[in-house]
Structure 1
């Protein structure tokens, strides 16, 4: 059982003009292409922070931040210990490190044990986000093999957050989306092309 603090004593900062403060994204196989699709159409003034877990080889450096930075107007960086969450910025978990959101709105990196044979773990990210941001959190599960993220999705919903999952028809690999959907805790099941539009609507209130 994954254990995270469930009632943070400190309140994390809320961002101005944001319906939600943080968007946590999980992906595995096929995830880079999917994330480019989601992030590339976000406006530079997107008012929430984004935290990303992408399953990649722990033996090699990641160039995801550089690749995504060239395809989106928001800021993208590899997360570092102690980073303060900022609106319009996406933080990517480094290889072989769990990415956690603390109750003061900072980030922690951990080399604690593998979760379902994985590090970084989407479940750990989602559970930390749920405990910290509660109803002001959005979790997104994109293409990938396995079931990482499903336990975290349940935590997000339990704390009042919102869950978006890529539909199985547009997911290159359906394992992670399918596992999330099967929890019964999903608010939106969307084709990849529609996720960014709905995300902007939820966070910025630009459409109904």
Structure 2
């Protein structure tokens, strides 16, 4: 699907094994003019206490935090799904947190975030699926594409763990497949709404 003049609202990044380094590389490659809200699901053990500012080195124009229930999405913010909670986006562009059963043995689940973004934001979201050791995220990313959003997948040959990208590629044809450098370069060409 081509999106030559599309204006997006959010960037969604999903990863598992090897994901922290992959996400960091994307964050470090974003243009100083990139202000879109970034929502991250990184699989971590539920007992793992996360200080997002210690996990990721972020662009100077951004703040980073765990997403809070009923909190509204804002530009220039990076939101990390809290360990042990599924993170969803509601139709009013706020977050909801839930402790429903794990999906693909994961909570937070990429599929939960991606599918909620497809329902609430449709063509206004960009979903990026990165390295990981299970199939979480593939069907949710397909939902984003079906809703008219942009879908991007890391090249399995580059991924530290290829299972997650391969699961997506076996399920559907994403809009873009490339290395982290390719993905970052493409992201910097997108237009995002800044409210």
Match of 2:127 in 1: 139
Of 169, 183, 186, which residue of structure 2 is paired with 1:181?
169
Per-residue Cα deviation, 1:79-102 (whole angstroms, up to 9, x for no partner): 111221111211000111111101
Per-residue Cα deviation, 1:130-164 (whole angstroms, up to 9, x for no partner): 01111111100000101000110111011111100
1:102 aligns with 2:90: yes
Of 71, 81, 93, which residue of structure 2 is paired with 1:93?
81
Q: How many residues align?
A: 186
Match of 2:3 in 1: none
Large movers: runs of 4+ above 3 Å: none
Match of 1:170 in 2: 158
What is the root-mean-square deviation of aligned Cα atoms in Å?
A: 1.5
Q: 1:28 to 1:100 in 2, by over 3 A?
A: same
Q: 1:65 to 1:176 in 2, by over 3 A?
A: farther
Query: Does the 8 Å CA contact 2:58/2:64 hold for their aligned counterparts?
Result: no
User: TM-score if structure 1 supplies the norm length?
Assistant: 0.85
Structure 2, gaps ≥5 residues long: 1-5
Q: How far did 1:72 drift?
A: 2.3
Taking the aligned partners of 2:111 and 2:103, their CA distance within structure 1 comes to: 8
Match of 1:80 in 2: 68
Task: Single out whichever of 25-34 and 75-84 deviates more from structure 2.
Answer: 75-84
Taking the aligned partners of 2:93 and 2:151, their CA distance within structure 1 comes to: 20
Q: 1:144 to 1:136 in 2, by over 3 A?
A: same
Of 109, 115, 118, which residue of structure 2 is paired with 1:127?
115
Match of 1:31 in 2: 19
Match of 1:13 in 2: none
